[in-house]
Amino acid sequence: MDIHYTYNHETIQIILWPTFVLVSVLPYLEGNDRGLIITLTPSYSYDNIYIETVSITTDGAPDFDSRRTLNFSTKVLFLSVEGDYALRQSYMYEYYSGIIYRDSNFSIDFSGPNYWSIVHEGVSMGSVKLAVDWINHNIYWTDSQFKWIVVQSLASIDKSMYRILIHENLEGPHALTLDPMEGLLFWSDIGSFTKIEVSSLSGKNRKSLISSNLIMPISLAADYGARRIYWIDSGRYTLESITYEGKERKIFFKTSYNSFFDLAVYKDYLYVTNLEYQEVDFFNKMNGEKLEKSLIREGEIYLGVTVFHPEAQPTSVTAYCVNYGCEHICVTEKGGASCVCRDGYILNQDMKTCSDAVQCDLLSHRAADIY
């Protein structure tokens, strides 16, 4: 599939090769390389989509005069977006193709050169949310139709280097966020017993964080400094938050209708896409007040939003995985690291290398037959 986009009113074709996509645009300007990445689509049609970026100040306030737009004329619909600032990469889930894309050498001002590649194919057309571990360079996603949560290494070019991390006792996994510094993964499960759960980044130590007064928590965001998570409940029409330990639950903002779709948090601000008013709303996290000015583009619906900023993804923490020696995927546990094998493989006794699960099962059966 080829992708077309327009930058500065000039249409550019991105040719998708088997491993990457190559685009050449303007020179790279590092000083402008921090802000919000937002996906949007025309309100009258879902046949093409835009990516918009907005610079933010040191405290997180939006700079409304810094808007830049990339227009894809090919039929694509990016519903979830994340970034890895240290690697200068953005990641987007495309609904129609069921593909998670990576845009390497990404910059807020859409300078380049850019290299587009496929991270994963075969995602469903259900609800899918992405979350990126920028310390260990892994990507996680929920899939409500397949009813699982997956982790994949971004350090490997092998697209099979993924594992279905959690699949038992899941009805409809939707929202997703993580804190790689704490080694925590948070997600919502919407069904007959809707809840927000937490586990380690390896899927262990799973427990329910919230299991009452929830209807449809569709988006989650972690506030690392405050050790709180924020979420949108489109059934309760609320923005809410709670501590990592499941305490001090607060209703941050309440509307009279279902309108919010996605959110991100940074410093003093929450950034929320609003489907009803077709805008991005900005809330002061400290006092709960909504800024009078919103981000609006007439005739467009804002969808996914994420923060692309070095201070939003600190790298000055201990990277336990760097020299840990995992054969397949390395994840951070609290105070250390652990290895995860790709699907179809199991950890060996050294807890670092992996063996084919089917082969191991055959060998164990043969050993049982002998004895």
Residue 292 pLDDT level (bands cut at 50, 70, 90)? confident
Tell whether 162 is covered by a domain: yes
Separation of alpha carbons 49 and 41, rounded Å: 4
Tell whether 371 is covered by a domain: no
Tell whether 345 is covered by a domain: no
* pLDDT(280) > 90: yes
Average pLDDT of span 8-20: 34
| pLDDT tens track for 299-354 | 889 999 999 999 999 988 888 999 999 999 999 988 899 999 999 999 999 999 99
| DSSP assignments along 41-70, one per residue | EETT-SS-EEEEEEEB-TTS-B-GGG-EEE
Question: What CATH number is given to the structural domain containing 204?
Answer: 2.120.10.30
What is the pLDDT at residue 110? 85
Domain that holds residue 53: 3-318
What is the pLDDT at residue 45? 65
Tell whether 42 is covered by a domain: yes
* pLDDT(21) > 50: no
What is the pLDDT at residue 10? 38
**154 with 137: CB under 8 angstroms?**
yes
Separation of alpha carbons 64 and 70, rounded Å: 16
Separation of alpha carbons 199 and 250, rounded Å: 22
For 167, half-sphere exposure in the C-beta direction (CA atoms, 13 angstrom radius) is: 9
What is the pLDDT at residue 365? 39
**253 with 237: CB under 8 angstroms?**
no
Residue 8 pLDDT level (bands cut at 50, 70, 90)? very low
Tell whether 341 is covered by a domain: no
* pLDDT(14) > 70: no
Residue ranges in 15-163 assigned as alpha helix (H): none
How many structural domains are present in the chain?
A: 1
Tell whether 297 is covered by a domain: yes
The amino acid at residue 108 is: I
Which pTM was predicted? 0.89
Lowest mean pLDDT among 79-88, 169-178, 284-293: 284-293
Tell whether 245 is covered by a domain: yes
Tell whether 204 is covered by a domain: yes
**203 with 185: CB under 8 angstroms?**
yes
What is the pLDDT at residue 44? 67
Average pLDDT of span 86-112: 91
